[in-house]
Amino acid sequence: MSNEERQTSWFRKVEEDPLLFNEAIEALLGSRVGSFVFVQTPHFHKDYEVNGFYLEPETEHNVLGRIMRVENSITVQKDGDYFVSGKLEVIIKVLRFDNGASIESNVNREDLDSPYELLQFIQMLEDNELDDGSGGQVEFVTEDQLLLVRKFVENVPLGIETFFRDMTSDIQTQPLKQE
């Protein structure tokens, strides 16, 4: 379906029931709450430290976050043409395991003022493709990636013990070769 066809299709629905549009967006946004995402680290500027954050193994520059809530203040009105106004926000929390204060961040704040922009945003959500508003990509975490995270969490308690032991134990040195 072309963009134009999609637009017409949506508009027809709005014409039948203007509330439907908002409900559809609401449902789409709502369905993303609880999803895990990898967000680009530059987004966090100075707050970001490597240790204690789960980094995407592929790039090492994206941190694991979870969508906490979405806020939708979009209104669609018809007065001959359709008018779209308002904004959509996706708020995530960056997950960290160093017991530091969690970081909530607005990764996607879209001010929409045309039906085309709204349609684009809906398309992005349907395709699980968000943008952090500064050009950075927000990637939804796949099942396989999530399994890796869980495995990591399982392994860390034992790993921490080893880590601590390695830090504190005396190391046996082999006698050095004498010339």
Partner 1 sequence: MSNKEDQKSWAQKVEENPVLFTEAIEALLISRVGSFVFINESNLGGDLTANGLYYDPDGNDGLLAKIIKVENNVSVSPESSAPDNSDYVVSGHISIIARILRFDGGKSLAVDLQEGYELTHSFSLTHEIESLEDNELCDVDNNPIHFLSDEQLLAVHEFVKNAVVGLGKFSLDLG
- Does 143 sit near partner 1 (CB under 8 A)? no
Nearer to partner 1, 88 or 103 (CB): 103
Please give the structure tokens belonging to residue 53: 């954050």
Nearer to partner 1, 42 or 100 (CB): 100
| 18-26, 95-103, 114-122, 131-139 -> range binding partner 1 (CB under 8 A) | 95-103
Closest CB 78 distance from partner 1, rounded Å: 41
Closest CB 36 distance from partner 1, rounded Å: 8
Closest CB 20 distance from partner 1, rounded Å: 31
Please give the structure tokens belonging to residue 9: 């299709």
The residues that touch partner 1, with contacts defined as CB under 8 A, are 34, 49-52, 54-55, 57, 60, 66, 93, 95-100, 102, 149-150, 152-153, 155-160, 162-164, 166-167, 170-171, 173-174, 176-179
